[in-house]
Amino acid sequence: MASKAREASIILAASGTEQKNKALEKIAEALLNNKDDIIRANQSDIERSQSENISAPLLKRLKFDESKISDVVDGIYSLIQLEDPVGSTLMATQLDEGLCLYKVSCPIGVIGVIFESRPDALVQISTLCLKSGNCVLLKGGSEARETNRILAEIISRETKEAGIPEGWIQLLETRSDVNEMLKMDEYIDLVIPRGSNEFVRYIIDNSRIPVLGHADGICHCYVHQEADIDMAVKVAVDSKTQYVSVCNATETLLVDESIAPAFLPQLKIKMEEKRVELVGCDKTRVIISIKKADEKDWKTEYLDYKLSIKIVKDINEAIQHINTYGSGHTDSIITGNKEAANMFMNLVDSGNVLWNCSTRFSDGFRYGFGAEVGVSTNKIHARGPVGLEGLLIYKYKLIGNGHIVEDYSNKRRSFTHVKIK
Amino acid sequence: MASKAREASIILAASGTEQKNKALEKIAEALLNNKDDIIRANQSDIERSQSENISAPLLKRLKFDESKISDVVDGIYSLIQLEDPVGSTLMATQLDEGLCLYKVSCPIGVIGVIFESRPDALVQISTLCLKSGNCVLLKGGSEARETNRILAEIISRETKEAGIPEGWIQLLETRSDVNEMLKMDEYIDLVIPRGSNEFVRYIIDNSRIPVLGHADGICHCYVHQEADIDMAVKVAVDSKTQYVSVCNATETLLVDESIAPAFLPQLKIKMEEKRVELVGCDKTRVIISIKKADEKDWKTEYLDYKLSIKIVKDINEAIQHINTYGSGHTDSIITGNKEAANMFMNLVDSGNVLWNCSTRFSDGFRYGFGAEVGVSTNKIHARGPVGLEGLLIYKYKLIGNGHIVEDYSNKRRSFTHVKIK
């Protein structure tokens, strides 16, 4: 399968914008035309999962009904509107008369994506890959297997009819398929795992293929001494409670010593209204009566209605704490002091550094990237929410007229290096 | 050492352009002022290496004399002239009134570089890292240990005086240091190995840290049926012989069936003048009398005066051959047909795809990038010759005024997503 995808990737990389958009359109139409079959397959997944007693949130994510189908179809039409990211000239230089260098964007090639139980993820990821000219091997949650199968069939069939090479999208169905895939660094260029921390960490530890994504999301709000207290409470509550089970929810609140007596009692009231369990350092517990946090709390992604609180001496200690215990995902400072904000945003080594707003903002949709393939805490290639552009790389095209290096080595000719673009 | 570099990386990332350039200037001055000591240390490396009977080409690379010192100093002054790549706003979007997103370039962090015996590489790599705000752990060839030690000492001392945090540059001295380093994915963000294929492959196979570089350089020249024969001979000879022991030298020549009878006899004369050993497929050996190539030859990087030749039916077979046996480094087509050239450059999946010029052109200096840290055959982050920009990533800075996600989730507010840049 991987070698077939590799072959298809060469052709798909050179496919034109019109052809790719036509294929996307056919997918959108077919999803609507086949919605009854899709919903029936999904119903069967849901019934089987119910009989296996899977949790209510998981069941909710598994559900793929008419409204979800309509959402993904809308998503496909927005994707069609986006400019084709492939084939852009990113840089051009005349190296010498008649010898020009072009840096041109191109697809990465073959991407392996392992995703959670949401069937809409299959459609979003595969259409992003198609638009960016990448082939994709997909492994979805096994709870959604019937739904994924029919979706992959529809996408494969419709794109084939639109002239996209067969094999560009393929569905893996077992864990052992995934383990095999992780060894295929010869055919697969990038793996994007989405799912639980343990799962992502397992992938990172067991693959020689580059992995794009994140395991932990230990995000911080830091309330600086010059924060507006009302704003700090509001942003902290949103950061913690707006959706607790996601990677950009705040897990630890850092508070400057001097503002803590005024801030913490107000925070406690609002957090308790939302039924958030608070744990804190010794200094915090002098001001508000909560349970004790230990070293382990600073390293824990609760993904739940629980927040750890630590009082820090100053901004330096806050930055130090975040760079030590954080996961490089998203961290926010609340302050009225511009210098402190800039210092924080420059020195905190995270993909998303925020000032006076909620950590929950860091995602591809809110950032205006359209769909996203995931959020990366890597420090190479792509960082933060990753949309289409994270699926691209470039190649250098050099066009001459019989130019040879010996002429430059012998100083018969010399380079001009004139930027054209 | 790695944890010290990690700490320094936070400070260095936020250092200003002026400070970094001042530090670079101090390095340049100190290299000139201390040239006698440097040359003495290098002399001792050379004498020890001679007594250990190391090869003549290696001895030549090891030598670091007044002229080499002057070259690296010139390099530093060019680097000072280059724009600071850190802190550029790559994109800016107003997400809503008072809520703005900025994508800002920043250093990767801590980079481990393992390089061959040339001491000039130490200066080039460390100054590129400094300019791009990265900390660096260096391991040079052990033949150059005295020279590397004094160079690292000078660079460390001078930059410390210019206010760059201590520990930003550190020298590893043993193989076991390198093995330790490869495990430190907590502190080190990227490893760049330069050296023999086996060595680079060893690093790739033994590190969880992302690796930027290339193992093989199996480059091709393809002589299309519509090639100008004189040009094809000239470019093929340069591609093969201009410098045989480097990664962008051509190892295999592909020739269209219809042009082979006219082209190959002329090529043979010129290649034999340069004492190149030719091996070929059966069809080639019908036209010119040379030894037989076997399957292994298509996979071999000779790095020597040896060339394998294969006759192909057409451009499709040529592209297929390159994508199967090539290493994604550099491949050139010789043709007068623009459509064929574009097809080749689009479908050959290599970092550098060339038309009517020598494969030897693909390097950072010739491309006008100034110094380079290496040539990448990766398909993520950076591909082809890698200069300053391969040492950068970005972070997202989001600046609000108490904005919370709940307001958007409840449709009390909606995103504007207006591009500012």
- pLDDT tens for A188-213 read 999 999 888 888 888 888 888 999 98
| Number of domains comprising chain B | 2
Does A417 lie at the interface with B, CB-CB under 8 angstroms?
yes
Q: Which residues of B touch A95 (CB under 8 A)?
A: 361, 366-368
**Nearest Cβ partner of A189 from B228, B380, B406?**
B380
Q: Which residues of B touch A406 (CB under 8 A)?
A: 238, 242
Whole-number pLDDT of residue B60 = 87
Q: Are A381 and A390 within 8 A, CB to CB?
A: yes
Q: Are B52 and B196 within one domain?
A: yes
Does A185 lie at the interface with B, CB-CB under 8 angstroms?
no
Q: Which residues of A touch B329 (CB under 8 A)?
A: none
Q: Which residues of B touch A387 (CB under 8 A)?
A: none
Does B201 lie at the interface with A, CB-CB under 8 angstroms?
no
Q: Are A204 and A253 within one domain?
A: no
Does A269 lie at the interface with B, CB-CB under 8 angstroms?
no
Q: Are A383 and A311 within one domain?
A: no
Distance between CA A250 and CA A243 in Å, rounded? Answer: 10
Band (A275; pLDDT cuts 50, 70, 90): very high
Smallest CA–CA distance, residue B352 to chain A, in Å, is 5
Alpha helix stretches (DSSP H) within A14-55: 17-33, 35-51
**Domain range for residue A299?**
219-361
Whole-number pLDDT of residue A186 = 87
Size of interface A-B (CB pairs under 8 A): 232
Does B409 lie at the interface with A, CB-CB under 8 angstroms?
yes
Distance between CA A218 and CA B362 in Å, rounded? Answer: 42
Whole-number pLDDT of residue B264 = 98
For residues A296-300, average pLDDT: 97
> Distance of CA B117 to CAs A149, B54, B72, B73, B146, Å?
55, 11, 15, 19, 11
Q: Which residues of B touch A187 (CB under 8 A)?
A: none
Would you say residue A169 has pLDDT above 80? yes
Q: Are B159 and B230 within one domain?
A: no
**Nearest Cβ partner of B405 from A343, A349, A360?**
A360
Q: Are B358 and A407 within 8 A, CB to CB?
A: no
CB–CB contact A396 B367 (8 Å):
yes
Q: Are B65 and B206 within one domain?
A: yes
Q: Are A105 and A165 within one domain?
A: yes
Whole-number pLDDT of residue A56 = 84
Smallest CA–CA distance, residue A285 to chain B, in Å, is 27
Does B420 lie at the interface with A, CB-CB under 8 angstroms?
no
Render pLDDT for A89-119 as a digit per residue (tens, 0 to 9). Answer: 999 999 999 999 999 999 999 999 998 878 9
Q: So what's the ipTM on this one?
A: 0.93
Band (A86; pLDDT cuts 50, 70, 90): very high
Q: Are A259 and A190 within one domain?
A: no
**Nearest Cβ partner of A379 from B108, B383, B384?**
B108
B401 found inside a domain: no
| CATH label of the domain that carries residue B242 | 3.40.309.10
A409 found inside a domain: no
For residue A253, what is the enclosing H or E element?
Answer: strand A250-256
Q: Are B208 and B228 within one domain?
A: no
Q: Are B358 and A402 within 8 A, CB to CB?
A: no
- The interface residues of chain A toward chain B in range 37-56, judged by CB-CB distance below 8 A, are none
Whole-number pLDDT of residue A61 = 87
Does A77 lie at the interface with B, CB-CB under 8 angstroms?
no
Query: Which of B319, B322, B396 to probe by mutation at the A interface, max A CB count within 10 Å?
Result: B396
Does B95 lie at the interface with A, CB-CB under 8 angstroms?
yes
3-state DSSP assignment of residue A398: strand
Q: Are A26 and A121 within one domain?
A: yes
CB–CB contact B357 A234 (8 Å):
no
Q: Which residues of B touch A368 (CB under 8 A)?
A: 93, 95, 101, 415, 417
| CATH label of the domain that carries residue A25 | 3.40.605.10
Distance between CA B185 and CA B191 in Å, rounded? Answer: 10
Mean pLDDT (chain A) is: 94
Q: Are A264 and A153 within one domain?
A: no
B277 found inside a domain: yes
Question: Which strands form A135-139's sheet, in the order they lie side by side?
Answer: A169-172, A135-139, A110-114, A190-193
Q: Which residues of B touch A81 (CB under 8 A)?
A: none
Q: What's at B10, amino acid-wise?
A: I
Render pLDDT for A209-223 as a digit per residue (tens, 0 to 9). Answer: 999 988 889 999 999
Does A134 lie at the interface with B, CB-CB under 8 angstroms?
no
Q: Which residues of B touch A355 (CB under 8 A)?
A: 397-400
For residue B81, what is the enclosing H or E element?
Answer: helix B66-81
Helix axes A145-161, A119-131, angle to 10 degrees: 30
Q: Are A336 and A320 within 8 A, CB to CB?
A: no
Q: Are B205 and B67 within one domain?
A: yes
**Nearest Cβ partner of A406 from B242, B395, B409?**
B242
Q: Are B248 and B187 within one domain?
A: no
- The per-residue pLDDT string of chain B (421 residues; one tens digit each, 9 = 90 and over) reads 888 999 999 999 999 999 999 999 999 999 999 999 999 999 999 999 999 998 888 888 899 999 999 999 999 999 999 999 999 999 999 999 999 999 999 999 999 999 887 899 999 999 999 999 999 999 998 899 999 999 999 999 999 999 999 999 999 988 899 999 999 988 999 999 988 888 888 888 888 899 998 888 999 999 999 999 999 999 999 999 999 988 999 999 999 999 999 999 999 999 999 999 999 999 999 999 999 999 999 999 999 999 999 999 999 999 999 999 999 999 999 999 999 999 999 999 999 999 999 999 999 889 988 778 889 999 999 999 998 989 999 999 999 999 999 999 999 999 999 999 8
Does B368 lie at the interface with A, CB-CB under 8 angstroms?
yes
pTM over 0.90: yes
CA quadruple A203, A208, A211, A215: dihedral sign: positive
Smallest CA–CA distance, residue A37 to chain B, in Å, is 31
For residue A95, what is the enclosing H or E element?
Answer: strand A89-96
Q: Which of A241, A214, A219 is nearest to A330 (CA)?
A: A219
Nearest residue in chain A measured CA to CA from B190: A380
**Nearest Cβ partner of A381 from B341, B380, B384?**
B380
Burial class (CB in 10 A: 0-12, 13-18, 19+), B100: middle
Whole-number pLDDT of residue B45 = 96
CB–CB contact B235 A402 (8 Å):
yes
Whole-number pLDDT of residue B70 = 94
For residues A180-188, average pLDDT: 91
Distance between CA A268 and CA A262 in Å, rounded? Answer: 11
For residues A267-295, average pLDDT: 98
Phi, psi (degrees; rounded to nearest 5) at B93: -135, 135
CB–CB contact A402 B228 (8 Å):
yes
